[in-house]
Amino acid sequence: DLYLNHPDVLVIISSHTIAFENSFSMNLHNDYLINFKEFGDLGTTKNFDPDLSLMDQIQRFLRKQNIPFTLNSDFILDYGSAVPLYLLTKQLSVPIIPISYSGLDPKAHFIFGKNLQECLQKTDKRVAVIASGDLSHTLSAKAPAGFHADGKIFDEAIRNIALHVSSSKLLSFDPKIYKHAKQCAYEPLLILLGILDGISIHAQELAYEHPFGVGYLSVEFQLE
């Protein structure tokens, strides 16, 4: 469906990139590289260009709205960006805008997403958005963070929230549960649901699995 919709730009929100405690951020660089060297794959690489004009519009708009926002500059993207970009753009050449979450509270992330929506709606470009992060890391005794019963509770709740595009349930989520789950998808999803707020959306779960005790969920959100 991404190919069929011919996006002009792809916004990627990753939980594995640089994050600042008191500010959201955008990675502004003249080009980007993804690779998988940290996984032992030395041959797979791909380059991406930025959409500099839209990035400038975004940073100007957010600053005008007094959203805490800063710029960083990194050539090599994190694997949370690299994996979805590689899988979803094998036959697609599209500029990207890498966005990062922050250490601010859940409501701030949702408001940040709403402001991104307002800014993106001002452009005549077709914009696709990817939110990338891992679900619970505590689904089994062999999981990276060991076992915790809240891991399964978190994953099941997020699957339900994503399917029903329920920002209210996400915003009211018990912080003890998502902290016990040792996950990193909560903030990117808050931003994404902020971007989608007030828009008629159809959500479809494409896959859910939990190898090695880590939850992975793929959901497609389409405008109705």
Residue 194 falls inside a structural domain:
no
Q: Does residue 104 sit in the same domain as residue 162?
A: no
152 or 92: which carries more pLDDT confidence? 152
pLDDT at residue 1 greater than cutoff 90: no
Q: Does residue 20 sit in the same domain as residue 76?
A: yes
Rg over CA atoms, the chain: 17
The residues, any chain, with a CB within 8 Å of residue 118's CB and separated by 6 or more, are 61
Residue 197 falls inside a structural domain:
no
The residues, any chain, with a CB within 8 Å of residue 48's CB and separated by 6 or more, are 31, 32, 33, 34, 77, 85, 89, 94, 95, 96
| Other CB atoms within 10 Å distance of the CB of residue 98 | 26
Taken in order 174, 176, 181, 182, is the CA torsion positive or negative?
A: positive
Residue 217 falls inside a structural domain:
yes
What count of residues does the chain have? 224
User: What is residue 13's predicted lDDT score, i.e. its pLDDT?
Assistant: 99
pLDDT at residue 42 greater than cutoff 90: yes
User: What is residue 5's predicted lDDT score, i.e. its pLDDT?
Assistant: 87
Closest CA to 25 of 77, 67, 54: 67
Q: Does residue 56 sit in the same domain as residue 138?
A: no
| pLDDT range class, residue 75, cuts 50, 70, 90 | very high
Number of domains into which the chain is organized: 2
Residue 97 falls inside a structural domain:
yes
Helix residue spans in the chain (DSSP H): 2-5, 52-64, 79-88, 106-120, 150-164, 167-171, 175-180, 186-196
Helices 106-120 and 52-64 pack at an angle, to 10 degrees, of 130
Residue 165 falls inside a structural domain:
yes
C-alpha to C-alpha distance for 137 and 172, rounded to whole angstroms:
21
| pLDDT range class, residue 181, cuts 50, 70, 90 | very high
Residue 187 falls inside a structural domain:
no
pLDDT at residue 160 greater than cutoff 90: yes
Which residues constitute the domain of residue 27?
1-132
pLDDT at residue 154 greater than cutoff 90: yes
The DSSP code for 62 is H
| Mean pLDDT, residues 51-63 | 98
Mean pLDDT of the chain: 97
Q: In this predicted model, what pLDDT tens digit does every residue of 110-150 receive, in sequence order?
A: 999 999 999 999 999 999 999 999 999 999 999 999 999 99
Q: Does residue 115 sit in the same domain as residue 125?
A: yes
Lookup: tokens for 49: 């260009």
Alpha-carbon separation of residue 161 from 146, 169, 197, 219 (angstroms): 25, 7, 13, 11
Burial of 22 (0-12, 13-18, 19+ CB in 10 A): exposed
Q: Does residue 21 sit in the same domain as residue 113?
A: yes
Q: Does residue 99 sit in the same domain as residue 177?
A: no
Q: Does residue 15 sit in the same domain as residue 111?
A: yes
Residue 146 falls inside a structural domain:
yes
Q: Does residue 172 sit in the same domain as residue 127?
A: no
pTM over 0.95: yes
Listed residues 132, 167, 195: the one ending a domain: 132
**Residue 39 is part of a domain; what is its CATH number?**
3.40.830.10
Q: Does residue 77 sit in the same domain as residue 152?
A: no
Listed residues 100, 132, 164: the one ending a domain: 132
Q: Does residue 16 sit in the same domain as residue 99?
A: yes
Q: Does residue 128 sit in the same domain as residue 147?
A: no
